[in-house]
Amino acid sequence: MKKFAIAAASVFMLAGVAACGESAADKAAEKQADAIEATGEARADQLEAQAAATSNEAQETALNAQADQVEKNADRKADMVEQQAGNADGGMTTNNTPSTQ
């Protein structure tokens, strides 16, 4: 019975340690990355609205392509911010950090 109690206590302790795995740098980077993505999404939405409002098909296509590129660039930059934060803590939390490749 004692062994069971010790094993159960160990499991609870490990679960508590796992829950605390995200560092302050990770949280800050995640907020910054979210802001970058939101800004990119807003700019892409503006471009898509311009595309929808134009009667020039070539211009519409170009604006939609530009909107797609803006979103991709924002996502890439956000991933880099999160990746750098993951590396800042000595790799302790890089298992959930997005790749920038």
Phi, psi of 85 (to 5 degrees): -65, -40
Short-list 91, 67, 86, 77, CA closest to 32 = 77
pLDDT in tens, 3-45: 555 555 555 555 554 445 567 888 899 999 999 999 999 999 9
Domain holding 79, by residue range, is 23-96
The torsion region of residue 22 among left (phi > 0), alpha (psi -120 to 50) and beta comes to: beta
Please compute the mean of the pLDDT values over residues 70-97 and round it to a whole number.
77
- Whether residue 12 lies inside any domain: the answer is no
Write down the pTM of the prediction.
Answer: 0.65
CB atoms within 10 A of CB 72: 12
- Whether residue 16 lies inside any domain: the answer is no
- Whether residue 50 lies inside any domain: the answer is yes
Total count of domains within the chain:
1
String of b and e for 58-67 (b: at least 16 CB within 10 Å)? eebeebbebb
